[in-house]
Structure 1
Amino acid sequence: MSSSGYLVHRRLLFHLCKSPCVLKRRVGQQRLLSTSGRCRTIMPAWVIDKYGNNDVLRFTRNASFPVIHYPNEVIIKVVAAGLNPIDVSMRGGYGSSTLSMKRDPLNIKQSGSEFPLILGRDVSGVVMECGLDVKYFRERDEVWAAIPPWKQGSLAEFVVLSANEISHKPKTLSHIEAAAIPYVAATAWSALVNTGGLSKDKCANKRILILGGSGGVGTFAIQMVKAWGGHVTVTCSQNAERFLKGLGADHTVDYTAGPVEEPLSQLEKFDLILDNIGGDTERWALGLLKPWSGAKYVTLVTPFMQNTDLLGIADGMMQTAATVATKALKHLVKGVHYRWGFFSPSGPTLDEIREMVDAGKIRAVVEETFSFSQVPQAFEKMEKGHARGKTVVQISQGGT
């Protein structure tokens, strides 16, 4: 390149760098270019810079703006974010070893590279930008999603997710209502369908026991099983019985009146048990299943994360595999199946859930709503437990 050509080239680059930020907008199947007055590089968010109690939560207006790194990703403007018990656990460091491996499989980054970390596993909002390979969504679409715990969460103005993790929001729900469903729906679906083997065609007249029915997963699971024609028994406190029967529960057992295994043992045996409680329930719960009929006990309280946090990834996974294999074999000889259930993010699953919501078969259960400035109070509410539904944070005003 000649000296004069080099100067022209540098001058052109200089003017391009000073021009307004270029944003991509999808219109039909074409991608046009439009200019914005400024290029966003930061956004408001609640973050943590270390693990700990509620004191580690910090509000900042300088959180890094999410960036599309892969052609199948979308940027979502968050309208509402739902909180779950896992957010409280992650704030304290639960699963940090496993999630760090998922974020950085080759261990290239230094320890602590996940900070500043944004919590929040549920999101309902509006698509702001789509990657080049995204075909099913367009800018301004209203969507909802359950965010994997290894990704930055929804307690921020924007979040970036893969297109196969999101779904169009139900038309019958507001953003606040929609933010109460995705994470618990994905968890319950994974436990009952993927692990438990239930489906809308294989649930009629099945007897299901849900241990701990008044929380987010329990309230959703009750509605899903009833929508498919199953019979649902739940354990709960006495003051939650009317609430859960209003969601469709056929029978309730009050755990505050004494050990629940005694009244449960007097009932007809069950085809599937969903355990949201853990603890010593494994000691007696599997005896409530119908033997030699394919009945399953699925627990959502597993030692997988604890093992990897305590023993490291390799030893923790070996310990976990040995534990689940031992328990599965122990109960298999008694004619019942022992399984662990895990959260699994899935846009197609939320598509199925959306149809059930819009058909009036499932409704959102929001216990309390907080403003964006009240995130610490929302976490305090979550830590108290005994929830009847979900805690939701409104991040911004709804609409496009």
Structure 2
Amino acid sequence: MLSRGAAASGRALRGAGRAGGQPLARGLRASPRSRSAMPSWVIDRYGRNDVLRFTRDMVFPIIHFPNEVIIKVHAASLNPIDLSMRISCFAGGYGATALNMKRDPLKLKSMDTEFPLTLGRDVSGVIMECGLGVSYFKPGDEVSFKPKRLSHTEAASLPYVGLTAWSAVNQVGGLNQSNCSGKRVLILGASGGVGTFAIQLVKAWGAHVTAVCSHDASTLMKKLGADDVIDYKSGNLEEQLKILPLFDFILDNVGGSTEKWALDLLKKWSGATYVTLVTPFLINMDKLGVADGMLQTGVTVGSKTVKHLFKGVHYRWAFFTPSGPSLDEIAELVDSGKIQPVIDQVFSFSEVPKAFLKLEGGHARGKTVIDVISKK
């Protein structure tokens, strides 16, 4: 969260994180600190970069539920979803419907309560306070749990992209350490945050990786372990890929017209799988409402799944999925040296608008990170 001093209280991913959901009457285990306001970057409406507003008066968060923790944020990173949420794709802003459902499932409050909104999905920091139902963490822990070999700035670059890639490759795609060896994997849009993580993940599991990116990212792709690197700017990408052996798994970070031909690159009738991270799920909910949006999404993915199943390949959608156990496995891979953070640029807390502009410019090589603690 883009707040200096603390993040808004968040649900613990482990321990008693499923305990009932009843409000906690100020019961917590805490480290000493004062209840004060904190500096934050917020938005009061959806729009361009100028909607970002710095304030020193953001109310310090409190524990509401027994499975919540409060984190003193040392670093945070930006993701494309933060940019999409800032920009008003529809009247309510990208993902506003899902965001408000998460904040107020029973719709007991006004829709206006989404503002002021603090953007940011990734943090690294230190636990300050824990709800009484939290047993996996304690005040003073570096979360979640931070790999020992990484700084907070490096660690903040991993959770969102790491869990998104893990969801796509493992939970949806079915690949793991025991079955990935020798598999041919194609990653479209490989130089972004999810792509750079996914390359390292499947390489750690023994796959042969073909990465698609622009030429200036090819050195990075090789460094991360890609066996083949294809420059999508050097000619017709579809034709370049068709001359290669067929693939067992495709991760698509690009979407659009790519989906029309990418599935033809898979081995037929062998369990080969195409997973795309570019889905209309949040857009459908924003445009059609929760019920109709989910229905439309289900119809779309269902029809595409059946269509491609008859062609001998599996078609799937994947999303970011929070998971404490998966973060623990990722931390083990990092500490063993098999996965490293890929950071494009680090900004100070005062430079948050510049960081958003960097993200908006596209063509990032890894993550954009905010050093929250630095005073520069």
TM-score (norm 2): 0.89
Instruction: Summarize deviations over 1:123-177 as a string: whole Å, max 9, x none.
Output: 000111111122221211111xxxxxxxxxxxxxxxxxxxxxxx21000000001
1:75-94: CA deviations, max 9, x gaps?
10000001111110011121
How far does residue 70 in structure 1 lie from its aligned partner after superposition?
1.3
Equivalent residue, structure 1, for 2:94: 94
1:49 lines up with 2:44 in the alignment: yes
2:325 equivalent to 1:382: no
Does 2:166 match 1:171? no
Aligned AA for 1:43? M
Closer, same or farther: CA 133–97 of 1 in aligned 2, 3 Å: closer
CA contact under 8 A between 1:219 and 1:244: conserved in structure 2? yes
Pick from 188, 194, 200 the counterpart of residue 171 of structure 2: 194
After alignment, is 107-116 or 215-224 more displaced?
107-116
C-alpha distance in 2 between matches for 1:378 and 1:72: 32
Query: Alpha carbons of 1:73 and 1:218: their partners in 2 closer, same or farther (altered >3 Å)?
Result: same
Q: Which residue of 1 aligns with 2:282?
A: 305
Tell me what 1:159 maps to.
Answer: none
CA distance in 1 between counterparts of 2:198 and 2:150 reads 18
Q: What amino acid sits opposite 1:129 in the alignment?
A: E
CA distance in 1, matches of 2:102, 2:29: 31
- The answer to whether the 8 Å contact 1:236/1:255 transfers is yes
SS of the residue aligned with 2:111? coil
3-state SS, counterpart of residue 301 of structure 1: coil
Once the 2 structures are TM-superposed, how far is the Cα of residue 196 of structure 1 from its aligned partner? 0.1
One-letter identity of the residue aligned with 2:126: V
Q: Which amino acid aligns with 1:141?
A: D
Inter-CA distance 125–397: structure 2 relative to 1 (3 Å threshold): farther
The percentage of counterpart residues that share the same residue type is 64
> Partners in 1 of 2:29 and 2:260 — Cα distance?
57
8 Å CA contact retained: 1:365, 1:389: yes
| Alignment correspondent of 2:10 | none
Choose the corresponding residue for 2:232, options 255, 267, 274.
Answer: 255
Give the equivalent residue in structure 2 for 1:351.
328
Match in the other structure for 1:139: 139
Rate the CA distance shift 1:296–1:372 in 2: closer, same or farther, 3 A: same
Superposed structure 1 runs of 4+ greater than 4 Å apart: 22-26
Provide the C-alpha distance between the structure 1 equivalents of 2:32 and 2:156, rounded to a whole number of angstroms.
Answer: 31
1:369 maps to a residue whose letter is V
Q: Which moved more, 1:351-360 or 1:302-311?
A: 302-311
* Aligned residues of 2:74 and 2:152 also touching (Cα < 8 A): yes
Q: Is the 8 A contact 1:234 1:249 kept in 2?
A: yes
- Displacement of 1:112 in angstroms is 2.0
Deviation at 1:332, TM superposition (A): 0.5
1:324 alignment counterpart: 301
| Corresponding residue pairs, total | 345
Cα displacement (A) at 1:98: 2.3
How far apart, CA to CA, are the structure 2 residues paired with 1:376 and 1:186? 26
* RMSD (Å) for aligned C-alpha atoms: 1.6
* Counterpart check, 1:284 vs 2:261: yes
Q: What SS class does the counterpart of residue 301 from structure 2 fall into?
A: helix
Larger displacement relative to structure 2 (278-287 or 133-142): 133-142
The separation in 1 between residues aligned to 2:173 and 2:124, in whole angstroms, is 28
Contact 1:23-1:35 at 8 Å conserved across structures: no
Q: Is the 8 A contact 2:349 2:374 kept in 1?
A: no
SS in structure 2 of the partner of residue 168 of structure 1: coil
Aligned to 1:39: 35
The AA in structure 2 aligned to 1:101 is M
2:111 maps to: 111
Residue 391 (structure 1) aligned with residue 374 (structure 2): no
Q: TM-score, normalised by structure 1?
A: 0.84
CA distance in 1, matches of 2:44, 2:254: 30
Contact 2:27 2:131 in 1 (8 A): no
Name the aligned partner's letter for residue 363 of structure 1: Q
C-alpha displacement of 1:24 = 5.8
Of 208, 211, 219, the residue aligned with 1:234 is 211
Greater Rg by CA = 1
